[in-house]
A = this chain, B = another copy of it.
């Protein structure tokens, strides 16, 4: 069982409009809804890969109920979201049929009260007893302390559960200092954390700050991993045309599934890059295309080297 945490769960709504014009009135021609927030996206990909997965975080209001109703349809996924008084947020993606571009409107999310935050931490600690890995994903809703992920990482480490962190800004900075097993920043998040716009230098710096392994997602340039076992750069076979929404979440699912299956790093990275590529290529934003995954996974180029100190024993 893998656990994913989504403190700021969302109902992701996509509107198709013929052409978005500010200050005009638009008739929406197509509406689609799906559960959102990074941890829920990661969980859906893990479940599609055949893993049992539990999701936790917060849920509230009519939007939270809509999210939970849709989660019941996902096989191998257990809903352990913690109820709160406020309503889960919506995100609206307005897709312009004329230009193909998308305009995004993100609600901030419900304000979490101190008692709700305490209830979550207790539920989280209970769930850790039966999981093999945990992913902490996305932004914090109002009311949750900025050091939240740092605390959740320490709790996981005390329970002996490996933990992956995927967030940004100050929650990432504080989380890294709590020594997570893996952090997965994108290039911008890594630069904001370390001040370096050179990914290798940034990843090395993030390790010095406390992360055991750093996997930086570099968009079309794939993934750069700097780990105690060595460093690798994994790239997809060709430049991909499609929608990058959710590609980073699919990479997290690839890394986590590889971790619990004890795959060597190059295989984890091949899987993560192929899942990202299959997400970019999927017709529905944020889903992944299983046929594209099978096609790409054998053709990911992984270049790098095992660390000298770890050469004889590649597992940490």
Q: Could you tell me the distance between the alpha carbons of A148 and B29 in the complex, rounded to whole angstroms?
A: 23
Q: Does A17 contact B (CB under 8 A)?
A: yes
Q: Does A312 contact B (CB under 8 A)?
A: no
Q: Does A102 contact B (CB under 8 A)?
A: yes
Decide if A22 touches B62 in the complex (CB within 8 Å): no
Q: Could you tell me the distance between the alpha carbons of A21 and B107 in the complex, rounded to whole angstroms?
A: 16
Knowing A22-B20, A63-B62, A65-B62 are in contact, say whether A15-B103 is a contact too (CB < 8 A).
no
> What is the minimal beta-carbon distance from A122 to any residue of chain B, in angstroms?
28
Knowing A23-B96, A65-B62 are in contact, say whether A28-B108 is a contact too (CB < 8 A).
yes
Within 8 A of B (CB), among A3-31: 13, 15, 17, 20-29, 31
In the bound complex, residues from chain B placing their C-beta under 8 Å from that of A102 are: 23
> What is the minimal beta-carbon distance from A183 to any residue of chain B, in angstroms?
23
Knowing A62-B65, A66-B62 are in contact, say whether A103-B23 is a contact too (CB < 8 A).
yes
- Give the interface size bracket for A toward B: 20 to 34
Decide if B96 touches A22 in the complex (CB within 8 Å): yes
In the bound complex, residues from chain B placing their C-beta under 8 Å from that of A29 are: 108
> What is the minimal beta-carbon distance from A55 to any residue of chain B, in angstroms?
19
> What is the minimal beta-carbon distance from A13 to any residue of chain B, in angstroms?
8
Q: Does A150 contact B (CB under 8 A)?
A: no
Knowing A20-B22, A22-B20, A63-B62 are in contact, say whether A28-B106 is a contact too (CB < 8 A).
yes
Q: Does A130 contact B (CB under 8 A)?
A: no
Decide if A105 touches B22 in the complex (CB within 8 Å): no
Q: Does A125 contact B (CB under 8 A)?
A: no
Q: What is the chain B residue whose CB lies nearest that of A69?
A: B62
Q: Does A94 contact B (CB under 8 A)?
A: yes
Q: Could you tell me the distance between the alpha carbons of A66 and B28 in the complex, rounded to whole angstroms?
A: 20
Q: Does A101 contact B (CB under 8 A)?
A: yes
In the bound complex, residues from chain B placing their C-beta under 8 Å from that of A313 are: none
* 0/1 string, A46-57, CB within 8 A of B gives 1: 000000000000
In the bound complex, residues from chain B placing their C-beta under 8 Å from that of A90 are: 13
* 0/1 string, A88-105, CB within 8 A of B gives 1: 001010101001011111
In the bound complex, residues from chain B placing their C-beta under 8 Å from that of A101 are: 22-23
Name A24's contact: one of B15, B21, B99, B104 (CB within 8 Å): B104
Q: Could you tell me the distance between the alpha carbons of A144 and B15 in the complex, rounded to whole angstroms?
A: 23
22 A-B pairs whose Cβ atoms sit less than 8 Å apart in the complex: A13-B90, A15-B105, A21-B103, A22-B22, A22-B103, A23-B96, A23-B101, A23-B102, A23-B103, A24-B103, A24-B104, A25-B106, A26-B103, A26-B105, A27-B106, A27-B108, A28-B105, A28-B106, A62-B62, A62-B65, A62-B69, A65-B65
A-B interface, 3 closest residue pairs, ranked by CB to CB distance from nearest? A25-B104, A62-B66, A23-B101
Apart from A29-B108, A31-B107, list 15 A-B contacts with CB within 8 A.
A13-B90, A15-B107, A17-B105, A20-B22, A21-B103, A22-B96, A22-B103, A23-B99, A23-B101, A23-B102, A24-B103, A26-B106, A27-B106, A27-B108, A28-B106
